[in-house]
Structure 1
Amino acid sequence: MIVTVGDVAAGGHCVARVDGEVYFVRHALPGERVRIEVTDRKKRFAFADAVEIIDPSPDRVEAPCPYAGPGKCGGCDFQHAAPEAQRRLKAHVLADQLTRIGGLDPARLEGLEVEELPWKEGALGWRTRMQYAVDADGKAGLRKHKSRDIVHIDQCAIATEPIRSAKVLARDWKGLGAVGVVDSDDDKLAVYTQMRRTSRPHHKSGPKTVHQRVADLEFDLAFDGFWQVHPLAAETFLDCVLDFLQPREGESAWDLYAGAGVFAAGIAGAVGETGRVVAVENAKSSHTAANLAEWKNAGAIDGDVAETVPALGGVDVVVLDPPRSGAGADVVAAMVTARPRAICYVACDAGALARDVKTFAEHGWEPTRLRAFDAFPMTQHFETVALFEPAS
Structure 2
Amino acid sequence: MPTFRSAGSPPSTADDAAESLVGTRYEVEVGPVAHGGHCVARHEGRVLFVRHGLPGERVVVEVTEGAETSRFLRTDVVEVLTPSPDRVQPPCPYAGPGRCGGCDWQHATPAAQRALKAAVVAEQLRRLAGLDLDVQVEAVDGPPGLPEGLGWRTRVQFAVDPDSGAVGLRKHRSHDVQPIDACAIAAPGVEELGIERRDWRGVASIEAVAASGSLDRAVVVTPAEHEGRMPIVELDRPVAVFRGDERGRAKRVHGRAGVREVAAGRTWRVSGAGFWQVHPAAADTLVAAVLDGLEPRPGDVALDLYCGVGLFAGAIADRLADSDTVIGVESSRDAVEDARHNLRAVPGARFEAGRVERVLTRPGFLRRADIVVLDPPRAGAGKTVVERIARLTPRRIVYVACDPAALARDVGYFAQRGYRLRALRAFDLFPQTHHVECIAVLEPAPKAPKQR
Pick the TM interval, shorter chain: over 0.9
Q: Partner residue of 1:357? A: 411
Q: What displacement does 1:24 show?
A: 0.4
Change (3 A) 1:130 1:202: farther
Greater than 4 Å deviation, 4+ residue runs: 202-206
Q: 1:126 aligns with which of 136, 152, 157?
A: 152
Distance 1:80 1:25, change over 3 A: same
Is 1:324 aligned to 2:351, yes or no? no
Counterpart code for 2:187? T
- 2:222 matched to 1:194? yes
Tell me by how many angstroms 1:208 deviates: 2.6
Q: Aligned-pair distance for 1:218?
A: 1.8
Match in the other structure for 1:31: 56
1:169 is the counterpart of 2:196: yes
2: distance between equivalents of 1:387 and 1:139? 45
- For the pair 1:13 / 2:38, whether they are aligned, the reply is yes
Q: Which has the higher contact order (CA 8 A, sep 6+)?
A: 1
Question: Could you tell me which residue of structure 1 aligns to residue 347 of structure 2?
Answer: 296
Judging changes above 3 Å, is the alpha-carbon distance between structure 1 residues 147 and 256 closer, same or farther for their aligned structure 2 residues?
Answer: same
Give the match for residue 181 of structure 1: 208
Distance 2:43 2:302 in 1: 52
Q: CA deviation at 1:202?
A: 4.8
2:103 aligned counterpart, secondary structure:
coil
Write the distance in 2 (CA, Å) between the matches of 1:371 and 1:389: 15
What is the rounded CA distance, in whole Å, between the counterparts of 1:52 and 1:306 in structure 2? 49
Q: How does 1:299-310 map to 2 (within 5 A)?
A: 299-310=350-361
Report the AA paired with residue 246 of structure 1.
E
Please give the alpha-carbon distance, in whole angstroms, between the structure 1 residues aligned to 2:276 and 2:323: 29
User: Which one of 77, 89, 103 corresponds to residue 76 of structure 1?
Assistant: 103
Does the 8 A contact of 2:264 with 2:287 survive in 1?
Answer: no
The answer to whether the 8 Å contact 1:224/1:285 transfers is: no
C-alpha deviation, 1:188, in angstroms: 2.2
Distance 1:327 1:264 in 2: 18
Q: Secondary structure at the match of 1:310?
A: coil
Q: Which residue of 2 aligns with 1:233?
A: 282
Identify which of 239, 242, 258 aligns with 1:209: 258
Q: Secondary structure at the match of 1:28?
A: coil
Q: C-alpha offsets along residues 114-167 of structure 1, whole Å, 9 cap, x if unaligned?
A: 101111222000000011111223211111001011111100000011211211
Amino acid in structure 2 at the alignment position of 1:253: A
Aligned equivalents of 2:301, 2:320: Cα separation in 1: 8
CA distance in 1, matches of 2:129, 2:104: 25
Q: CA deviation at 1:203?
A: 4.3
Give the deviation of 1:172 after TM superposition.
1.5
Q: Output the CA distance in 1 between the equivalents of 2:85 and 2:350.
A: 52
Q: Secondary structure at the match of 1:101?
A: helix
Alpha-carbon distance between aligned partners in 2 of 1:140 and 1:118, rounded to the nearest angstrom: 29
Q: Secondary structure of the equivalent of 1:314?
A: coil
Q: 1:273, CA displacement in angstroms?
A: 2.1
Question: In terms of mean alpha carbon deviation, does 286-295 or 204-213 score higher?
Answer: 204-213
Displacement of 1:54 in angstroms is: 0.6
Letter in 2 for 1:282: S
Contact 1:189 1:206 in 2 (8 A): no
- Separation in 2, partners of 1:22, 1:289: 51
Question: Residue 137 of structure 2: which of 83, 92, 114 is its match?
Answer: 114
Over residues 311-366 of structure 1, what are the superposed CA-to-partner deviations in whole Å (9 max), with x where a residue is unaligned?
Answer: 42211000000010000011000001011111100001000001101111111111
How many angstroms apart in 2 are the aligned matches of 1:94 and 1:204?
A: 42
Q: For residue 31 of structure 2, what is the amino acid of its counterpart?
A: G
User: Does structure 2 retain, via aligned residues, the 8 Å contact 1:189–1:207?
Assistant: no
User: Is 1:50–2:99 an aligned residue pair?
Assistant: no
Match of 2:424 in 1: 370
Number of positions where the alignment pairs a residue of Structure 1 with one of Structure 2 = 388
Once the 2 structures are TM-superposed, how far is the Cα of residue 174 of structure 1 from its aligned partner? 1.2
CA contact (8 A) 2:268 2:342 kept: yes
Post-superposition CA distance 1:183-213 (Å, at most 9, x none): 0131121112012352444546653321011
Q: What displacement does 1:223 show? A: 2.9
Tell me if the contact between 1:251 and 1:274 (Cα under 8 Å) persists in the aligned partners: no
SS at match of 2:309: coil
CA contact (8 A) 1:191 1:204 kept: no
Q: Which amino acid in the other structure matches residue 93 of structure 1?
A: V
Query: Equivalent residue of 2:207, what SS?
Result: strand
Distance in 2, Cα, partners of 1:371 & 1:227: 20
Counterpart contact for 1:182–1:223, Cα < 8 Å: no
Between 1:199-208 and 1:334-343, the stretch displaced more is: 199-208
TM-score, normalised relative to structure 2: 0.84
40-49 or 347-356, which deviates more:
40-49
2:94 match: 67
User: 1:279–1:299: 8 Å Cα contact kept in structure 2?
Assistant: yes
Larger radius of gyration: 2
Which whole-Å CA distance do the structure 2 matches of 1:124 and 1:207 have between them?
A: 28
2:250–2:272 contact (8 Å) kept in structure 1: no
1:254 aligns with 2:303: yes
Distance between the aligned counterparts of 1:322 and 1:178, measured in 2?
25
Q: Secondary structure at the match of 1:158?
A: coil
The Cα of 1:41 is off from its aligned counterpart by: 1.4
Partner residue in 2 for 1:150:
177
Quote the Cα distance in structure 2 between the aligned partners of 1:368 and 1:269. 24
8 Å Cα contact 2:264-2:315 kept in structure 1: no
Distance 1:63 1:206, change over 3 A: farther
